Amino acid sequence: MSFQLSDKFGRKINYLRMSVTDRCDFRCVYCMSEQMTFLPRAQLLTLEELEILGSAFVELGVSKIRITGGEPLIRKGILQLFQNLSQLSDLKELVLTTNGSQLEKMAKSLREAGVKRLNISFDSLKAKRFQEITRNGKLEKVVRGIDAAIQTGFERIKINAVILKNRNHDEVVDLVQFAVDKGIDISFIEEMPVGVVNSHDREEGFYSSEQIRRDLSRFFTLLPTTETTNGPAKYYQIPNTTTRVGFISPHSHNFCDSCNRVRVTTEGRLILCLGQENSVDLRRVIRANPGSTEPLKQAIIEAMAYKPKGHNFDLAAQPNILRYMNVTGG
Ligand code: SAM
Ligand code: SF4
């Protein structure tokens, strides 16, 4: 039988999220501060190194890779990485999280390069508000990107909306209606205290999944599904539509017991838990051993011993985690 990564709590690790750049054309208020300093390029993993990493993880039993960032689609040459990773025969799912700004021109090439499913961040249907939340984003351009993705025919497209009290909590019903009209899925995410943000107080801005569910239930029937994407989201089906509504609730619902994932940052640091600071430097191992992936695989296997039991997010103790979400990749 082939190898399967696992940690000391017996959790199977079969899902890798790779951040391919810390740079982004947006500056979302929950993700970044207004003035960001990005990493020098020499510190980033090259596309070749990202591919070596991806294939080492797949050889160790990872069957799903999500490419994230920063904004993955602004990294030069990224299509080649998708093409190369999609050739790995044991990789069952190659998926992408994007802010949608480049989808209008890239959706078709992404599908052709082997991307099966897309998560698109989308927090508001109001142009002015969309621009305020993203600090740079243009609503219409992202909607055209979503439409291009729908026409391209991905297996599944999902909108991700981070909901903040007094910023966009009044739009949850409209966002679900948008997803229903487009025939796509939607997940609501509770804000996580990752990185230092200066635009709002995270405790005051907290809007729970439970509250969103209550708001939605006045307009929609939400039927609980047993379906799982092996992730932290709980899904509900809206009857007579193809739309599923998910809730990712790190605060109100702790999902650590079934955690099946690890992350690699833009600099090649293996992050064992989004809610903990410890990490292992895989870039050093790759660069010290050109032409051989065995030391890398060994380092990954040994790192699993450091995967903690769970996160300790606490909105009152800001920030919990100093790294920004764009470095880790959400
Ligand atoms: N730029 C791409 C995007 O926005 O989809 C990919 C990277 S982004 C860091 C990945 C996901 O993390 C997005 O869905 C975003 O909404 C989410 N995210 C960023 N900061 C967050 C925070 N503090 N709490 C919860 N989710 C966050
Ligand atoms: Fe960029 Fe995504 Fe972070 Fe927004 S959430 S700033 S789009 S990386």
Note the pLDDT tens digit of each residue in 224-254. 987 765 566 789 999 999 999 999 877 655 6
Are 304 and 6 contacting, i.e. CB atoms less than 8 angstroms apart?
A: yes
Domain spans of the chain, in order of start:
15-328
Rounded-to-integer distance, Cα 58 and Cα 14, Å: 8
pLDDT (tens digit per residue) in 97-122: 999 999 999 999 999 999 999 999 99
- Mutation pick for ligand 2 pocket among 198, 326, 327, 328 (CB with most ligand atoms within 8 Å): 326
User: How high is the pLDDT of residue 234?
Assistant: 86
- Output the CA 99–ligand 2 centroid distance in Å: 7
pLDDT (tens digit per residue) in 139-156: 999 999 999 999 999 999
pLDDT (tens digit per residue) in 274-293: 777 789 999 999 999 999 99
- Output the CA 137–ligand 2 centroid distance in Å: 10
The number of the ligand nearest the C-alpha atom of 22 reads 2
Global confidence as pTM: 0.92
Which atom of ligand 2 is the closest one to the Cα of 324? 3
Q: Nearest 10 degrees: CA dihedral of 164, 168, 171, 173? A: 0
Name residue, tokens 């039927």: 223
- Output the CA 241–ligand 2 centroid distance in Å: 29
Which atom of ligand 2 is the closest one to the Cα of 25? 1
Architecture of domain 15-328: Alpha-Beta Barrel (3.20)
- Output the CA 39–ligand 2 centroid distance in Å: 16
Rounded-to-integer distance, Cα 134 and Cα 154, Å: 25
The number of the ligand nearest the C-alpha atom of 329 reads 1
The number of the ligand nearest the C-alpha atom of 160 reads 1
User: How high is the pLDDT of residue 88?
Assistant: 97
